[in-house]
Structure 1
Amino acid sequence: MTNPRSVRYELKTELVRQGYTLSSFSKISGVNRGVLSSTLSDPPTKSLSMNQLNQMSEALHLPVGWLYKQYAEELIKDIEHVSWRKVKDLLTHCLILNKVSLIKMMLDALEDKTAYVNYIFELAEEVIEQGSQADLQMFYQYVLDYESNPHTERFAVSQYRLFRANLGLDLQQNFKAMIQFAPYRHTLPLYLKLDALAQLIHVSYALKDWEVLNEYGKELVNTANLAYKEKSKQSHISTKKHERPLIVYFGKGYTAQFIKWEHSGNYEEAKKLIPYYEDLSWVTKVDPLDTESRISVEKHAIYAKCNRYNLELLQGNYSALKPYVDYLEFFPEEHPASLTIIIKASNMHKWDIDEILEKYHHIIYPSNILDYLQRITSYSMIVEINRYINIYYELALYYFERKKNKDDLEHILSVLKSNIEKYNRLYSFDSTQLFEKISKFYLA
């Protein structure tokens, strides 16, 4: 007798309820009558496929996914004998419909079955290659849980995919994700290592870990050089594509090294790095000059000019301030990064920049930082949010040192505190020192 919870029972019941015979239902569903007979007979002589189930559900005017839970339960009951193709079909359809609980149920049923590790990994990578935005974290966690050799490439790739999935605007969470992933970057295939190092640079910058930032910068340039050489030798061979043009990785690697020297106060060493990213058009010899590459070449030329101005200001050249501000009129995307340095330099050299702060008041205090940044910049949100925190930190020092209006100072402290709590709790040590200093000498 047919199990009253089975897929076949539910289908047969619905056919009868809607008044179909096998012949009439075959015509409207497009499923062969013989297939219907063999899959719905008791006992069945043929297994039901996902496509057939979806066809029948559609013909019965029931939602896709109507009987997925029962279908999954039947596969699990006979999991030792079910083919990977059937499991894959179900998981794929569950991803499309975001049926997270069913995916978890299937993966739990496959626990300790090491033969499935590579199947699960390849399915997840296949979904990514198709450009899907599906959440694949459970798949990659399955690989990490049941891969017997943690030194394999698929283990490293799974670590990387989870690292990327866990990156957000909370720096504490990003720090944990970086610590978990970083040791596995060396095992990644070249095209993913480029992307991985770029993300590690973003997190390191936000953490203000300049030494680590510098090391990742050097490593990214070396990795980009390897990719460049591969493309030079095998430009006619189709290979897996890295996420961004090679120009981006060269530029990010060199600017990471520049930032290390800039923040360490070694401005001469920082200056030596600018020519390396000032003109990256040579990279297009092996990496075609598409729209993104062309824009990246132009952007790095802008970065170079801004960074030359930054070094002039940090070294006390006040005469560079006006031409710098005039230059920035044309590049709103650079405003957060440039304002950080302008305010920092004014604190270092006791300059009055009230007029500039008034000019950029709407940029310093957008009604919603995330909305503003998403409109004006293509940079990493991790980096840009933390630039704003740096702006507020330097601005608080600026107001304190000049004994500005108490309301202005209290406002900037409130904004700084709010953004640290939202995005960067790891900044608390620096900000605590600032708050104590101001409380003791000014707000008491």
Structure 2
Amino acid sequence: MEATATIRDQLASYLSEQGMSINQFADRSGINSGTLSRIVKGHQPIAMSHLELITKGIGEVEDHFFSLYVDECFYHSAPTWRRLRPFMIRCAELGRMDCIERMVQILLDNLSNVPTLFDVAEGLFEHGQWKAAAILYENVSASEKYQYSERLAVCQYRLFRIALGDDQSENLRAATLFEPYVPRLDEADQLDALKDLAHVYSSLRRWHKVEELAKELLRIASIQYELQYKLDRKWGMRKQPTRPIYGYILYSYLLQSFVCEENEDYVAALGFVSKYADGSWIKESTNEAKQIVNQFKEWAIANTYLYRIMNGDEGVLDEYVDYISIRDNEVFIALFRIVQAANRYSWNIDYILDRFSSYLSYRRYTTVFGDYNKQLTADQYAQFLTELASYYLCNKNCLGIQAILHSMDFSFKINCESNVIKCVDLFEQYRDKASDEETKQYKNLISEVRDHNEKKRESISSFV
């Protein structure tokens, strides 16, 4: 069957070739014969439900007519969101981004369609159709780029979330592009946006930015928490953040303790620990409030041990290990910091590594605040492998070289250049300990890194 101008033409050709009447095809497809007759004659638009039945009746794959249906929606009948919305959603589900692109370009000739396009994008985003949602957000943003609007800011926030992945350089770019839009968001969204940005900058080790964002998170959350009880009933009419506001206040203290930890100011870090350990000021007494307060108290106990250990107090090491042993989500970060401390103070922790050997592989964790940030966890795991390699090598353990290669490979995959450089320095320092096969693996990884960097330079040059 040759391609013709419209879906109706193709349907008519099919009926002719098969020697089928409208009534016969109506029985096969499940479409009312009168409706089918009006569709073929061009007296009735083709609804999405009709398109699915026609396509199935002809025996083609579901998206066979999708390109023609774009024309049907705009040029062969009056465009209506009653057809466009379900069609866009189905295009997203079947990966037909080409059709979505065409529809969006046509719709934006009339800027009155922008609010509805945004609503459709929000629905797609909520249901995990991020690739399709990104097309809509990008086009809505372009149509409003000269407007100081909250909708533009929300689009940029969604695009930031969509852009985050394993490539740390891309994550930095996404964070840098989005950050100026944060003040335009509703206060509820600002809380989540600041938290998400702090996670990204943590994974990038931009601790001055994390501190800045944590302080802003504390400022806005504190104001909102006070307003919550002043406005009373009116507060329920306002947009709410994804988590209770008191949780963001506690979380801001946790973030600031991380900054102090990275700056090796453990006394200041313990000062912030005391702040998020104290939930006595929280007015809510719900089960959720109790759960969140208890989670922060647990983190406070664990981090009190941790900061004492990082400050050289080996006496609490076994106590800390026993504490985290029954708290699955705490084990990895504990191992990471224990290995760091062992390298710094020349401790022997072989018995701890043996005890938690099953935790040496990469994994994701969940808390009352949702999943641990993927980017931060990946960055910490890359650093952990490098610290582990140093520990093994200093203690004449043959696993050290493999730990370097594992860290180098993992760091390359997340584009963490600083850790790749550390791995190279460490391998060269202990090259004589490597077997021929390990040296070969190392050379192959170096070649991959060089090829990647060369392609990056070529793409930058071509853009310039």
TM-score by length of 1: 0.83
Q: Name the aligned partner's letter for residue 311 of structure 2.
A: Q
Give distance in 1, aligned partners of 2:80 and 2:123: 19
Could you say which residue in structure 2 is the equivalent of 1:258?
Answer: 257
| Aligned pair partner of 2:354 in 346, 351, 358 | 358
Give distance in 1, aligned partners of 2:281 and 2:91: 46
* Residue pairs, 1:179-258, within 5 angstroms: 179-229=176-226, 231-232=228-229, 233-234=231-232, 237=236, 239-246=238-245, 248-258=247-257
Give distance in 1, aligned partners of 2:196 and 2:76: 43
The percent of aligned pairs where both chains have the same amino acid is: 26
Contact 2:329 2:366 in 1 (8 A): no
Give distance in 2, aligned partners of 1:360 and 1:111: 57
Could you say which residue in structure 2 is the equivalent of 1:314?
Answer: 310
Quote the offset at 1:228 in angstroms. Answer: 3.2
Matched, 1:388 2:387: no
Give distance in 1, aligned partners of 2:270 and 2:111: 53
Could you say which residue in structure 2 is the equivalent of 1:289?
Answer: 287
Segment drifting more, 302-311 vs 236-245? 236-245
Q: Name the aligned partner's letter for residue 410 of structure 1.
A: I
Q: Name the aligned partner's letter for residue 413 of structure 1.
A: I
Contact 1:259 1:270 in 2 (8 A): yes
Give distance in 1, aligned partners of 2:371 and 2:154: 26
Quote the offset at 1:22 in angstroms. Answer: 4.1
Could you say which residue in structure 1 is the equivalent of 2:332?
Answer: 336
Q: How many residues align?
A: 427
Quote the offset at 1:321 in angstroms. Answer: 0.8
Quote the offset at 1:198 in angstroms. Answer: 1.9
Quote the offset at 1:434 in angstroms. Answer: 4.4
TM-score by length of 2: 0.80
Could you say which residue in structure 1 is the equivalent of 2:320?
Answer: 324
Contact 2:261 2:307 in 1 (8 A): yes
Could you say which residue in structure 2 is the equivalent of 1:420?
Answer: 411
Matched, 1:347 2:343: yes
| Aligned pair partner of 1:137 in 110, 134, 144 | 134
Quote the offset at 1:162 in angstroms. Answer: 1.1
Segment drifting more, 302-311 vs 181-190? 181-190
Could you say which residue in structure 2 is the equivalent of 1:46?
Answer: 44
Give distance in 2, aligned partners of 1:383 and 1:418: 17
Could you say which residue in structure 2 is the equivalent of 1:278?
Answer: 277
Cα RMSD for the two superposed structures: 3.4
CA deviation digits over 1:9-57, x for unaligned, max 9?
A: 222334455665445655675655544333321xx23322223323444
Q: Secondary structure at the match of 2:398?
A: helix
Could you say which residue in structure 2 is the equivalent of 1:170?
Answer: 167
Could you say which residue in structure 1 is the equivalent of 2:103?
Answer: 106
Q: Name the aligned partner's letter for residue 408 of structure 2.
A: K
Distance 1:96 1:230, change over 3 A: farther
Could you say which residue in structure 2 is the equivalent of 1:13?
Answer: 13
CA deviation digits over 1:247-288, x for unaligned, max 9?
A: 5533432211111112212222211111332244865728x5
Contact 1:247 1:297 in 2 (8 A): no
Segment drifting more, 188-197 vs 170-179? 188-197
Give distance in 2, aligned partners of 1:240 and 1:303: 29
Give distance in 2, aligned partners of 1:274 and 1:240: 30
Quote the offset at 1:124 in angstroms. Answer: 0.7
Distance 1:126 1:410, change over 3 A: closer
Quote the offset at 1:163 in angstroms. Answer: 0.9
Quote the offset at 1:433 in angstroms. Answer: 8.0
Taking CA–CA contacts closer than 8 Å with sequence separation of 6 or more, which of the two structures ends up with the larger relative contact order?
A: 1
Could you say which residue in structure 1 is the equivalent of 2:68?
Answer: 70
In structure 2, runs of 5+ residues without a counterpart are: 435-464
Quote the offset at 1:324 in angstroms. Answer: 0.5
Contact 2:343 2:387 in 1 (8 A): yes
